[in-house]
Amino acid sequence: MAKALVVVESPTKAKTINKYLGRNYKVLASMGHIRDLPKSKLGVDVEHGFEPAYESIASRKKVIKDLRAAAKDVEQIFVATDPDREGEAIGWDIAEELAGKNRTIHRLMFNEITKKAILAAIEHPVAIDEKMVAAQRARRVLDRLVGYKISPLLWDKVRRGLSAGRVQSVALKLVCDREREIEKFVAEEYWHLFARLAADAPPEFDAKLVKKDGATIRVANEAASNAILADLEHATFVVRSVVRKERRRHATPPFITSKLQQLSRFTVKKTMVVAQQLYEGIELPGEGAVGLISYMRTDSTRVSDQALADVREHIGKVFGAEYVPEKANFYRAKADAQDAHEAIRPTSMQYDPEAVRAHLTPDQYYLYRLIWNRFVASQMPPAVFDDTIVEIDAGPYTLRVRGSVPKFSGWLAAYGAVGESPENVPAKGTAGDADEDEASSGVLPELREGEHLALKGLRPEQKFTQPPPRYSEATLVKELEENGIGRPSTYASILGTLQDRDYVKKIEARFRPTVLGVLVTDLMVPYFEDILGVTYTARMEEQLDEIEQGKADYKSTLGSFYEKFSVDIERADREMDDLKKGMPTGEKCDKCGGEMLKKVGKFGPFLACSAYPECTNTRELEPPEGAGANGAEVPVEECENCGRPMVMKRGRFGQFLACSGYPECKTTRKLIATRQGGLTAAKPDEVLTEPCPQCGSNLVRKQGRFGEFVACSNYPTCKYVQQKTTGVKCPTDGGEIVERRSKRGKVFFGCSNYPGCDFTLWNRPIAEACPKCGAPFLVEKVTKRHGRQLVCHKEECDYVRSEELAPA
């Protein structure tokens, strides 16, 4: 019988820790939070110190029952939840549920799931940090007050199902503000001028025009460009100055959560999911589950002395003594960093990414290698470059070129090649424009002051100023982080909520606010300017930190917030526009002359005639998904049946074109995304000469929700749909196995005699008999780890053959 109970959050974590502790300990998982505020009511006693009314989560009642049963026979309980505010709060709730007269409850704190760290934590248990719990409670109550007070207001004024959040609303406003900047932006033309020059010795190089008469020059148009080019054609090019200096490029700190989210090629949510897998444990031969990285929710760049010693030893062995700096590198933490635990790093230098690659999925390997390289590089010396900056006179004009030659690779050696370094590419979603001040070259010829250069050619480049880019996941996280809004652990849920509520759309991996998102923001700003303000929200985060540090009080912090917030709620309830009744726009109805009203329906905002129901004219407000910055329209299409123009509509499956003559003409057309990211109207139905095998009417090629298909033109009287055959016979009744789709659009394969025969497969059948057991066909499986494989469809046969994937 176990002597002690250890409680963690996840089964994977429990499995890894149990391996280290042995039979004297029973390790169980709480499956995350076991208690929360009630869903059906506010759950906060505003009148009595903002006391939260926590209750057991319905889906965790069996978990709580199992934990209580396991706790009956032990004298010691160890709470081993994650070492952050959320983990501390989960631990507090577990302790409350399992407390008993003859039981002692301890808190285990560890930054990595390794045998050494777990055994050390068992040897030195601590108490649950009540200040940290109070900070988490304060955040939860703040979020509940904002959400449960503003959301019903939006239900009443706009439509049910909308939500507002303390940090979510600020993030949405940032996206909306950026979109307005883009809409107001006016591009300006400018030109870059380059001269191809040659010295006495090779190589030739390009120099860029930077000055005229000693002042910085901006070439505004083609006429100005041509005039300067004419001057340069007859100019004498003389080297004015040659400046040589050594440049050092220092390593960057090991990853904190937000930086990992920004530099990973994954979405924020996927980055955290994969990092959690690496933290909780990966099965390695002979060792069982091993945690490969330290805790992945951190804003500290601190690294333990032991980890520093280990990585410095590794660097010396792999790269040589010259790559080990005299002293370890230390990095300054952000002013608001909690510094509760270390930076994200490998748990042991013995688990080189290549050594464990065979036991990782491609996603796990990519992220682990990124973390490993960043950590190793962070403890290496600077990369050194020899830079040469040359200025060249050409009459009144000055041209400049920079040459840069690597002298010592330093920390860049950890990436194998400079191009593999994440610091050498912009964060995903950033503009990444090259330096526009000067031309750059690798190796320059030996140049000296006063040397004359030969002109080999002139090259003008027309440019236009660009609007600020829309936020990607990475750049929005960066903006939130730099402004002190939210915490890295909350970013994934914030971005997910914005999309789930239809406040933003992802267009080419960037966020564009929907009309609904802009509308909700504009409605809230006049009444909740402070809550939507970056500075105010950042200050609230600081106050939560102060509660954790014991510098601020839970009740007074919440009381100060709620005093003004309650006044704002009352004013908004009285004065906010009611979109259910309709907001006047001043626009006239093109059918009856009445005023068009802005309303919000099931599928988003739209314009409707105020004369409804006598006039049913409506118009879509949402720009097409994939449209340009200013909502470029889908090309105008005419109805193929009546000739009237098609108009944009929105239904349960998104936007589509419908005849403006509805209800007399009910023609509709699907919208298809183009490779350029815009939308185009699907081709009209194409009538085929082939007859329907069921009723004899002509078949027609149509565009459906899941692509092109062939069906009977006599629909809905005849519902025949031509199915794609696989050329394989059904083993049950001899019918054809055909390609079909589930209600959610997922492809599967089934007998053409359905519903008479219900034989189905999720993998595509291949018309080839199994060489091992003689089964009539094989099935195709494609996975990231193994690629394309042909396997026998019979479960009792283990035949497998790897195949190359067909070219795209």
Residue 302 CA to its chain's centroid (Å): 26
Helix 362-378 vs helix 305-319: crossing angle, to nearest 10: 90
Half-sphere exposure of residue 694: CA atoms within 13 angstroms, side-chain side: 12
Quick count: other Cβ atoms within 10 Å of Cβ 189? Answer: 13
Q: How deeply is 345 buried, as exposed, middle or buried, from its count of CB atoms within 10 A (0-12, 13-18, 19+)?
A: buried
Instruction: List strand residue ranges (DSSP E) for 445-591, in order.
Output: 452-464, 504-507, 510-513, 583-588
At CA 339, angle to CA 338 and CA 340, rounded to 5?
90
Torsion angle in degrees (nearest 10) through CA of 131, 136, 139, 143: -150
Question: H or E element: which one contains 407?
Answer: strand 397-408
Give 255's DSSP letter. B
For residue 9 the two structure tokens come to: 């959050």
**Burial profile 149-160: b = 16 or more Cβ within 10 angstroms, e = fewer:** bbbebbeebbbe
Neighbouring C-beta atoms of residue 270, cutoff 10 Å: 16
Cα–Cα distance measured from residue 57 to residue 37, given in angstroms and rounded to the nearest whole number: 9
353-364 as b/e: b if 16+ CB within 10 A: beebeebbeebb
How far apart (Å, rounded) are the C-alpha atoms in residues 748 and 765? 10
Q: What Å distances lie between residue 527 and 141, 490, 514, 576, CA to CA? A: 21, 25, 21, 8
Q: Are strands 189-198 and 787-792 parallel, antiparallel or unpaired?
A: unpaired
Contact 385, 408 (CB under 8 A): no
- Cα–Cα distance measured from residue 341 to residue 75, given in angstroms and rounded to the nearest whole number: 29
Instruction: Give the Cα separation of 182 and 468 in Å (integer).
Output: 6
- Measured from the Cβ of residue 679, the count of other Cβ atoms closer than 10 Å reads 24
For 166, the token pair is: 């303390």
Report how far Cα 553 is from the mean position of its chain's Cα atoms: 35
Q: Which spans in 48-106 are helix H?
A: 61-71, 85-98
The residues that are catalytic are 295
Which runs of consecutive H residues, i.e. helices, occur in 185-283?
Answer: 222-233, 257-263, 268-280
Instruction: Write down the residue that tokens 């560890």 correspond to.
Output: 110
Burial of 513 (0-12, 13-18, 19+ CB in 10 A): buried
Give the integer Cα–Cα distance in Å for 315 and 329. 13
Per the CB < 8 A criterion, the answer to whether 768 and 758 are in contact is no
Tell me how far apart the terminal alpha carbons of the chain are, to the nearest angstrom: 58
User: What is 543-571 written as a DSSP string?
Assistant: HHHHHHHTSS-HHHHHHHHHHHHHHHHHH
Q: Which residue has the tokens 């959301």?
A: 151
Place of tokens 């098609």: 646
Cis omega (within 30 of 0) for bond into 755: yes
Pull the structure tokens for residue 200.
């006495």
| Whether the Cβ atoms of residue 478 and residue 427 lie closer than 8 Å to each other | yes
